[in-house]
Amino acid sequence: MDIVLAPDVFVNASVAVGTPPEAVVQRVLGKHKGESRCSQWVLDRVGQMLTALPEFKPDAVEAQIQLIRGLVQMVELPEDFGAGAWEAAMVATAKKAGVKRVVTDHPDLLEKETSDGVEFVASEAWLIEVTTPPPPPGG
């Protein structure tokens, strides 16, 4: 898998069925179960964001975190990042996972486009990229 998923993609997939984030998560974790990588920082943010939503009860949040954990390989980050350190934590997660792209819909990250060699790609753009067939030979 050549990407890592940011916390917002996991959260949006959890609450908005049929949206691009949900389609990304289904494609990445369904077709490539156990290939995608994730950090504890990502899971912590997912937990915090879901806890803030009234429709997610605490046991549902924990179940969602455990579901994600069971579908990914965890990577250890070289340092602890604060809750607001999205850019640094996602760059570190991508580098530790050996990838150069992060799928996110976080406006600040998408505005930056890249950071320290890591590209930030919107969920909808990534879906279009992976579902568009290659051009015909000789075309």
Q: What is the pLDDT of residues 71-128, one digit of tens each?
A: 999 999 999 999 999 999 999 999 999 999 999 999 999 999 999 999 999 999 999 9
pLDDT score recorded for residue 138: 74
- CATH code: domain 4-131 is 3.40.50.1010
110 contacts 93 by C-beta, under 8 angstroms: no
Is the pLDDT reported for residue 139 higher than 70? no
Question: With bands split at pLDDT 50, 70 and 90, how would you rate the model's confidence at 9?
Answer: very high
Dihedrals φ, ψ of 38, to 5°?
Answer: -150, 155
pLDDT score recorded for residue 128: 93
pLDDT score recorded for residue 34: 72
Q: How many other C-beta atoms lie within 10 A of the C-beta of residue 83?
A: 12
pTM for the whole structure = 0.91
pLDDT score recorded for residue 97: 96
Rounded alpha-carbon distances, angstroms, from residue 13 to 48, 77, 138: 15, 24, 38
Is the pLDDT reported for residue 33 higher than 90? no
pLDDT score recorded for residue 58: 86
68 contacts 46 by C-beta, under 8 angstroms: yes
